Amino acid sequence: MNWIQIGKLNDIPRQGSRVVNTATGEIALFRSVDDQVFALNNRCPHKGGPLSEGIVHGKRVTCPLHSWQIDLETGTAVAPDAGCAHRHEVRVAHGVLFLNVEAGVCKA
Amino acid sequence: MAKNIMRLVVIGNGMAGIRTLEELLKMSHEEFDITVFGAEQQPNYNRILLSPVLSGEMSFQDTVLNDWSWYKENNITLHTGKLVTKIDRQRCVVETDDGLSVSYDRLLIATGSNPIVLPVPGASLPGVIAYRSIDDVEKMLALAQDKNKTGKRAVVMGGGLLGLEAANGLSLQGMEVSVVHLCEWLMERQLDKAGGDLLKKALEKRGLKFYLARQTESILGEDKVTGLRFKDGEEIAADLVVMAVGIRPNIVLAKSAGIHCERGIVVNDTMQTYDPKIYSVGECVQHRGQTYGLVAPLFEQAKVAANHLAEYGRMRYEGSSVSTKLKVTGIDLFSAGDFNPGPEDEELLLQDAARGVYKKLVLRDNKIRGAVMYGDTVDGPWYFQMLRDGTDVSEMREHILFGQSHLGDAGRGGAASVANMADTAEICGCNGVCKGAIVKAIVDKKLFTLEEVRAHTKASSSCGSCTGLVESILANTLGGDYSTKTSKKSICACTDATHEEIREAIIQRSLKTLPELMQALNWKTSDGCAKCRPALNYYLLSALPGKYDDDSRSRFINERVHANIQKDGTYSVIPRIWGGVTSPSELRSIADIADKYQVPTVKITGGQRIDLLGVTKENLPKMWGDLVAAGFVSGHAYGKSLRTVKTCVGSEWCRFGTQDSTGLGIKVEKMTWGSWTPHKFKIAVSGCPRNCAEATIKDFGVVCVDSGYEIHVGGNGGIKVRVTDFLCKVSTEEEVMEYCGAFMQVYREEAHYLDRTAPWIERVGLAYVKQRVVEDAAGRAELYARFLESQRYSQDDPWKERAEGKDAHEYAALATIE
């Protein structure tokens, strides 16, 4: 486990996203309309589009390049598309965000 | 059993009944206890693919829609080969021929239809077969493929859709086929005589024989069929007789249970019968006096029935108007609506015997009521769309029969016939999808509708200009039974509301925010999706100028950060250059700024501006600050908004110029910049009819002439080039400004989000636009005033605001960790 404090919940707009730069690439943090926070690699499994720039709706984000939808909870593309933007663990404690920057996982 | 589990019994294991279950399982989270009874032995299969099975192009297994495991996975009790003999409505129980009885809370009757068997002597002889089920097809195949048999003569009774497909299939299996038909021409319900005659000729070339306007007196034979005798005494020999004269709703069971039936089981708009616990869908149903035998209406009914079985109580089925395509490989035929003109109707005809092309449109009050096409059917879906939309076609009567493609069709070489396209032909240029990929998806994934094809292949999901082609491919692949759905289209899967209903609700119910709007219209998702949110945001913005807080979370990235995202995640920056006129000092500032931020590519755009490509997001606000300091504002090259006003040099320099086109262009741009529109909006002003500013492919184009200004609207370049329509001629610059503002305002207030002016005008008709903007002077003044009012709130430069710190979080990373 490698939990790192990265900022506050309110740094991310509701239905929005912010990016954390890491040595292995960008991680996008998403905040859903009901204040849940998710973290994925900031690369769409389709053509590498920056997911952080997509529209966040429900527990999904729609990639800005070709409109693939990615499930924020699992990191997988919504059928009929297939693929995975790896998911990272993120925690909110008293409005502060902690990210586990170990390699992202890919599971439903 | 727990009380809250609803017991649902379905009578009929066919396409309509099972589709209803699929819809129900998809939409409801409640548990159901479901039992299905099917009279046939097979699981649910695709009945419209019987013809390809008969002709040998497919196997039965290819047609299975839900195999045994599907029923198991969904906990559905399936009884095949069982006949339900009784519905006891008092006790809510159904009983079968072998003594089984099952109770229900809700019952769904989907018993479909039976083939009509003509009451002629000999109709029950062995060798006389109906054409309805896979069993019938297998019997026909057994006869056709029997090596020991000497006789291979088949007679098909019925020259309708089904009969001709059967005849074609049998002929491909090597039989000698004759078709007997009561009417004077083939497919009289879908074709007029001229079309029917062309079809007959084509089928005769393939070896079919026809006996038209003939009545059968009896079917001959002792212990099996040997031939057929007509009323006029002539006899023909036959080893197989296929009855395909039509279908009749199967209502025996419903009738015996005392449920109100006429020609079919009578249902209301929720697919409920006169017994409130009993619903019915499919070919057995009579809705608003209509019965349906095509697949698309059944699927719509299924959706509605499922919604009410799930107790959502939201949807209504309002009937379908259908179009038909015959799919006998290599024969293109399309018909829709009412194509036999009445006394008030007009007829437009195009006939080219050498090319084998025949097209007929029936118009009333300049609206399409019906269409028949033979030989070249690629524009069928276009006509059908206008029929459904009630488009006023008066402005295109001269060329409407030549189809849409004369307007240009970049990227697919103007191919006219989908049937003859190679599998590698690109259909959807936006998403690079070829015909083969679409056909494969339709077959492998068992797709039926345009929406499904869009979801699986992405074809037709972007600009939509290939929708007609994709629909044609669906029709070709699925066969004669494909028809497009006709009821209203909701804006996305989150809602049942249409664009018009949403705009109306905003005004009439004074809805002021996105959440309010979604709640008022019963959105099915918590906060919409990437399709509906930008649309709703735009509708609110255009309805409530100055009062609505733009929701940046519902903006597509380009509009949220006021720059165009590129494929590598960098952005392009295009400052506004009024009317395309610049100066050495402006160019110097742009050059200096490009140097300062190490812009990798500087490019002149088609809209007479300068594009600075490859800027990182962090640099955007700083760069804008420098541009603003040099006197620039945002060019909105990223928005569904006014883009550019392109001009030529005009009378100031040009020896042909008639008016000051650059000066007028700059005035128009100063008035319109910053306005949000349903899609991008481009303007041009040309100084003379040589039209160097290309004003006739813009959304709003002005062509100056000696005596004034011609105004043209609804043009665009792009995938489907469309030349503008001439709107009117005015004599002063002030009038140009007023017409421009008024036209933009009607478009802003009434077009669907993501419709450019061209498809919008094609839907509502140019006559309507003329009426609003040209004929109604008072209305025009009001539109213009509303446009100017809205502009008061939209001309704050978004770049300046962001250079000063607005939305800073959009441009900076949250954190950087090693």
Q: How far is B331 from chain A (nearest CA, A)?
A: 33
B95-to-B76, B250, B265, B605 alpha-carbon distances in Å: 18, 18, 19, 74
In chain A, residues with a C-beta closer than 8 Å to the C-beta of B455 are 80
In chain A, residues with a C-beta closer than 8 Å to the C-beta of B525 are 57-58
Structure token pair of residue B572: 């392009």
Higher pLDDT, B720 or B133: B133
Phi first, then psi, for residue B220 (nearest 5°) are -95, 155
Across the interface, whether the CB atoms of B431 and A66 are under 8 A apart is answered yes
User: Which residues have a Cβ under 8 Å from the Cβ of B348 and sit 6 or more positions away?
Assistant: B360, B361, B362, B363, B397, B400, B401
Report the alpha-carbon distance of residue B595 to residue B584 in Å, rounded: 16
pLDDT (mean) for B652-674: 95
- In B, minimum Cα distance to A57 occurs at B529
Q: With a cut of 60, say whether residue B574 has pLDDT above it.
A: yes
Tens of pLDDT along B725-765?
Answer: 999 999 999 999 999 999 999 999 999 999 999 989 988 88
User: B556, B531 in Cβ contact below 8 A?
Assistant: no
pLDDT range class, residue A12, cuts 50, 70, 90: very high
What is the percentage of chain B residues whose pLDDT exceeds 70? Answer: 94
Relative to beta strand B209-211, strand B176-180 is parallel
The angle formed by the CA atoms of residues B436, B437 and B443, to the nearest 5 degrees, is 90
pLDDT (mean) for B211-232: 92
Tens of pLDDT along A73-101?
Answer: 999 999 888 899 989 999 999 999 999 87
Minimal CA–CA distance to B693: which of B719, B654, B720, B728? B654
Phi first, then psi, for residue B38 (nearest 5°) are -125, 135
Q: With a cut of 90, say whether residue B338 has pLDDT above it.
A: no
B-contacting residues in A 59-88 (Cβ below 8 Å): 60, 62, 64-67, 69, 80
3-state secondary structure B649-685: CHHHCCCCCCCCHHHHHHHHHHHHCCCECCCCEEEEE
Q: With a cut of 50, say whether residue B711 has pLDDT above it.
A: yes
From start to end of B81-142, where are the E strands? 84-88, 93-96, 101-103, 106-109, 113-115, 128-130
Minimal CA–CA distance to B308: which of B27, B54, B98? B27
Start-to-end CA span in chain A (Å): 20
Across the interface, whether the CB atoms of B526 and A34 are under 8 A apart is answered yes
Hey, which residues does A89 pair with through a beta bridge? A100
Across the interface, whether the CB atoms of A33 and B567 are under 8 A apart is answered no
Tens of pLDDT along B597-652?
Answer: 999 999 999 999 999 999 999 999 999 999 999 999 999 999 999 999 999 999 99
Report the alpha-carbon distance of residue B576 to residue B683 in Å, rounded: 14
DSSP calls for B337-359: E--S--TT-EEEEEEETTTTEEE
Tens of pLDDT along B48-103?
Answer: 778 878 888 778 888 888 889 999 999 999 999 999 999 999 999 999 998 999 99
User: Which residues have a Cβ under 8 Å from the Cβ of B707 and sit 6 or more positions away?
Assistant: B729, B731
Report the alpha-carbon distance of residue A55 to residue B588 in Å, rounded: 38
Q: What is the radius of gyration, based on Cα positions, of chain B? A: 31
> Any idea how long chain B is?
818
Report the alpha-carbon distance of residue B567 to residue A50 in Å, rounded: 9
Report the alpha-carbon distance of residue B214 to residue B312 in Å, rounded: 52
What is the percentage of chain B residues whose pLDDT exceeds 90? Answer: 58
**Amino acid of residue B147:** K
Compute the count of residue pairs across chains A and B with CB atoms less than 8 Å apart. Answer: 89
Across the interface, whether the CB atoms of A57 and B556 are under 8 A apart is answered no
Minimal CA–CA distance to B144: which of B156, B162, B132? B156
Structure token pair of residue B278: 């009993």
| Chain center to CA of B620 | 40
B147 CB within 8 Å of a chain A CB: no
pLDDT (mean) for B202-227: 91
Tens of pLDDT along B519-539?
Answer: 999 999 989 999 999 999 999
A-contacting residues in B 431-460 (Cβ below 8 Å): 431, 445, 455-456, 458
Residue with tokens 């098909």: B156
Minimal CA–CA distance to B681: which of B716, B647, B648? B716
The B333-337 sheet, strands edge to edge: B323-325, B333-337, B367-374, B357-364, B346-352
Report the alpha-carbon distance of residue B283 to residue B461 in Å, rounded: 31
The angle formed by the CA atoms of residues B380, B386 and B389, to the nearest 5 degrees, is 140
pLDDT range class, residue A42, cuts 50, 70, 90: very high
Cis peptide before B534 (omega within 30 of 0): no
User: B116, B248 in Cβ contact below 8 A?
Assistant: yes
Structure token pair of residue B234: 């002539």
In chain A, residues with a C-beta closer than 8 Å to the C-beta of B526 are 33-34, 57-58
Report the alpha-carbon distance of residue B96 to residue B98 in Å, rounded: 5
Q: With a cut of 90, say whether residue B399 has pLDDT above it.
A: no
The three-class DSSP label of residue B413 is coil
In chain B, residues with a C-beta closer than 8 Å to the C-beta of A29 are 814
In chain A, residues with a C-beta closer than 8 Å to the C-beta of B816 are 20-22
User: B332, B324 in Cβ contact below 8 A?
Assistant: no
ipTM: 0.93
Report the alpha-carbon distance of residue B201 to residue B705 in Å, rounded: 54
| Chain center to CA of B443 | 20
Mutate to test the interface with B, among A57, A62, A68, A97 (most CBs of B within 10 A): A57
Percentage helix, strand, coil, to 5, in chain B?
35, 20, 45
Q: With a cut of 90, say whether residue B188 has pLDDT above it.
A: no
Burial of B706 (0-12, 13-18, 19+ CB in 10 A): exposed
Report the alpha-carbon distance of residue B186 to residue B193 in Å, rounded: 8
Average pLDDT over all residues of chain A:
90
> Any idea how long chain A is?
108
User: B185, B196 in Cβ contact below 8 A?
Assistant: yes
A-contacting residues in B 549-568 (Cβ below 8 Å): 552-554, 556-557, 560-561, 565, 567
B517-to-B167, B364, B489, B663 alpha-carbon distances in Å: 55, 38, 18, 43
pLDDT (mean) for A25-45: 94
pTM, to two decimals: 0.69
User: A70, A76 in Cβ contact below 8 A?
Assistant: yes
pLDDT (mean) for B421-439: 79
Report the alpha-carbon distance of residue B158 to residue B135 in Å, rounded: 20
pLDDT (mean) for B764-774: 92
Residue with tokens 């140097």: B595
CB neighbourhood size of B50 (10 A):
26
So what's the pLDDT on residue B680?
96
B-contacting residues in A 32-61 (Cβ below 8 Å): 33-34, 47, 49-50, 53-58, 60
Across the interface, whether the CB atoms of B553 and A53 are under 8 A apart is answered no
User: B247, B283 in Cβ contact below 8 A?
Assistant: yes
Q: With a cut of 70, say whether residue B419 has pLDDT above it.
A: no
Residue with tokens 């009380």: B3
Minimal CA–CA distance to B242: which of B128, B144, B151, B379? B128
The CB-side HSE value for B430 (13 A sphere, CA atoms) comes to 18
Q: What torsion, rounded to 10 degrees, do the Cα atoms B472, B501, B289, B133 define?
A: 40
Q: Specify the DSSP class assigned to residue B771.
A: I
pLDDT (mean) for B324-331: 64
Mutate to test the interface with A, among B568, B814, B816 (most CBs of A within 10 A): B814
Report the alpha-carbon distance of residue B376 to residue B582 in Å, rounded: 51
Average pLDDT over all residues of chain B:
88
So what's the pLDDT on residue B473?
81
3-state secondary structure B705-732: ECCEEEEEECCECCCCCECCEEEEEECC
- In A, minimum Cα distance to B515 occurs at A33
The three-class DSSP label of residue B62 is helix
Q: What is the radius of gyration, based on Cα positions, of chain A? A: 13
Tens of pLDDT along B168-179?
Answer: 888 888 889 999
**Nearest Cβ partner for B527 among A53, A57, A62:** A57
**Nearest Cβ partner for A11 among B455, B529, B814:** B814
Least confident span in B68-77, B194-203, B538-547: B194-203
Across the interface, whether the CB atoms of A58 and B456 are under 8 A apart is answered no
The three-class DSSP label of residue B203 is helix
So what's the pLDDT on residue B2?
47
So what's the pLDDT on residue B151?
64
